[in-house]
């Protein structure tokens, strides 16, 4: 049993749903803003792709963070939540014309451009509006990260960004275009990264590229190192806030920022991961051969991470104090991969118990699908239930 959940209030809501602990979210945001305040020229944008629940977004927006967007829909969500347009950056390998136009109409801070073809389209669309779009180039740094293969993005084989060899030609090309202005370089090596050495490797690569740019008298105002800081899925209670001090200090120490430069970060999971849990009801306890199954009303349609990345999420039976038993915790979807955890030690479960699947604030609700004609899960916050 985990006593931090408001069980009585949760019991009244139709399951499954996401529950967001906004007190933890606010503490996490203060930890970030306090660390960032130590450095004159660091700016953090929240990567909205991790969680775009409007109630969560409004708390993040209040903290003063900017927004990192990956589609027109996300740009719209960021504007609706109140993020100022001059704090919005927009990356993505395949931006459609309407998405670029939305960014142009709202004068966003920067398009993180991923190909020459895209740069040309932004230039044309900006010309039609008599505007000049700020662009940064997303460079593929060919730096691997110690994380799941599906969420590493900075290797040469990945579809993202522009190769290092093409960096100077594309920057030079920009100077002959009237409706785009080159303002920065962008990088992102992957997600759920816990080894600071991976970020150190990125810093070294950025330093090398900056030295090369100096030789060509190319000066860059903004360096954006993306996101990727991981969270502790193993210990959501004792390690509920990531080590932001170490993270920002790593960049301060290893990245040779020029005095006129701003260093941007795009953190998603580290901001929202620990504040969210998927709350689900036990439908049945089924005795199998040599094992028992706790069958939940939540499935991979509500939280796809275990099925897609073999991700571990701690599971708590928040309504039982009985002795520990071992269960395979599964969902109701017609797929063998619809499993939240195997051999999970839990307080003895019975029909109607509530389980909390922890550390589900990032890439949980936002990745839910309607597979099996299921309804999308709702999200409730601690503020609403108080």
Binding positions for ligand LLP, rule: CB under 6 A: 47, 49-50, 68, 91, 151, 153, 188, 191-192, 226-229, 266-270, 305, 309, 362-363
Rounded Cα gap, residues 69 and 54, in angstroms? 15
Q: How far is the CB of 340 from ligand LLP (least distance, A)?
A: 14
Judged by beta carbon, residue 91 or residue 349, the one nearer ligand LLP is: 91
Tell me the closest approach of the beta carbon of residue 259 to ligand LLP, in angstroms. Answer: 25
First to last CA, the chain: 20
Measured from the CB atom, the residue of 248 and 363 that comes closer to ligand LLP is 363
Task: Give the closest residue to 192 by CA, choosing from 87, 339, 312.
Answer: 312
What is the spatial distance between Cα 365 and Cα 148, in angstroms, rounded to a whole number? 20
CB of 230 to ligand LLP, least distance (A): 7
Nearer to ligand LLP, 65 or 362 (CB): 362
331 closest CA partner among 300, 287, 367: 300
C-alpha atoms less than 13 angstroms from C-alpha of 1 in its C-beta half-sphere: 9
Task: Kindly list the distances between the CA atom of residue 363 and the CA atoms of 22, 79, 108, 155, 314, in Å, as whole numbers in the listed order.
Answer: 17, 20, 24, 22, 15
Q: What are phi and psi of 48, to 5 degrees?
A: -65, -20
In the complex with ligand LLP, the residue whose CB is nearer, 74 or 282, is 74
Report the nearest approach of ligand LLP to the CB of residue 341 (Å): 16
Comparison of 141 and 179: residue with beta carbon closer to ligand LLP: 141
Count of CB atoms within 10 A of residue 87's CB? 21
Distance in angstroms (rounded) separating the CA atoms of residues 85 and 45: 12
Nearer Cβ to ligand LLP (46/182): 46
Name the minimum Å distance from CB 147 to ligand LLP: 8
Q: Residue 240 in contact with residue 24, Cβ under 8 Å?
A: yes
Question: Measured from the CB atom, is 51 or 319 closer to ligand LLP?
Answer: 51
In the complex, least distance from residue 363 CB atom to ligand LLP, rounded to whole angstroms: 3
Q: In the bound complex, what is the minimum distance in angstroms from residue 309's beta carbon to ligand LLP?
A: 6
- Nearest residue (CB) to ligand LLP, 10 versus 24: 24
Q: How far is the CB of 138 from ligand LLP (least distance, A)?
A: 7
Q: How many CB atoms lie within 10 A of CB 259?
A: 6
Q: φ and ψ at 326, to 5 degrees?
A: -110, 135
Rounded CA-CA distance 89/71 in Å is 11
How far apart are the C-alpha atoms of 213 and 208, rounded to whole Å?
9
At closest approach, how far in Å is the CB of 273 from ligand LLP?
A: 8
Please, are residues 283 and 295 in contact by the beta-carbon 8 Å criterion?
yes
Decide whether 27 or 148 has the Cβ nearer to ligand LLP: 148
Measured CA to CA, the distance from residue 89 to residue 124 in angstroms comes to 19
DSSP string covering 34-83, please?
HHHTTSTTEEEEEEGGG---HHHHHHHHHTT-EEEESSHHHHHHHHHHT-
């Amino acid at each position: 049993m985990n006593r931090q959940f408001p069980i009585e209030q949760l019991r009244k809501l139709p399951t499954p749903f996401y529950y967001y602990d906004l007190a933890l979210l606010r503490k996490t945001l203060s930890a970030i803003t306090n660390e960032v305040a130590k450095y004159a020229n660091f700016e953090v944008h929240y990567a909205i792709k991790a969680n775009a629940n409007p109630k969560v977004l409004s708390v993040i927006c209040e903290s003063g963070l900017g927004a990192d967007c990956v589609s027109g829909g996300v740009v719209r969500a960021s504007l609706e939540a109140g993020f100022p347009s001059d704090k919005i950056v927009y990356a993505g390998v395949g931006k459609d014309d309407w998405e670029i136009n939305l960014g142009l109409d709202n004068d966003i801070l920067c398009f993180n451009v991923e190909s020459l073809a895209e740069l040309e389209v932004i230039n044309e669309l900006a010309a039609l509006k008599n505007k000049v779009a700020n662009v940064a180039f997303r460079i593929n740094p060919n730096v691997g990260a110690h994380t799941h293969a599906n969420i590493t993005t900075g290797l040469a084989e990945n579809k993202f960004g522009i190769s290092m060899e093409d960096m100077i030609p594309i920057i030079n090309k920009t100077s002959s275009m009237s409706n785009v202005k080159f303002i920065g370089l962008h990088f992102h090596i992957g997600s759920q990264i816990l080894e600071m050495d991976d970020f150190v490797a990125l810093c070294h690569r950025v330093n090398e590229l900056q030295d090369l740019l100096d030789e060509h008298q190319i000066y860059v105002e903004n360096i954006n190192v993306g996101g990727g800081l991981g969270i502790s899925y193993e210990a959501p209670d004792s390690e509920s806030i990531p080590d932001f001090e170490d993270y920002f200090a790593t960049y301060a120490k290893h990245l040779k920022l020029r005095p006129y430069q701003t260093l941007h970060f795009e953190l998603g999971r580290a901001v929202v991961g620990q504040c969210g849990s998927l709350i689900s009801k036990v439908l049945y306890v089924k005795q199998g051969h040599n094992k028992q199954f706790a069958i939940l009303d939540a499935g991979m349609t509500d939280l796809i991470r275990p099925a897609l990345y073999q991700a571990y999420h701690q599971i708590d039976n928040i309504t039982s104090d009985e002795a520990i038993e071992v269960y395979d915790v599964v969902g109701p979807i017609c797929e063998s991969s619809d499993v939240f955890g195997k051999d999970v030690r839990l307080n003895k479960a019975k029909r109607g118990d509530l389980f909390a699947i922890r550390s589900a604030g990032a890439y949980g609700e936002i990745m839910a699908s309607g597979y099996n004609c299921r309804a999308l899960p709702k999200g409730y916050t601690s503020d609403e239930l108080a």
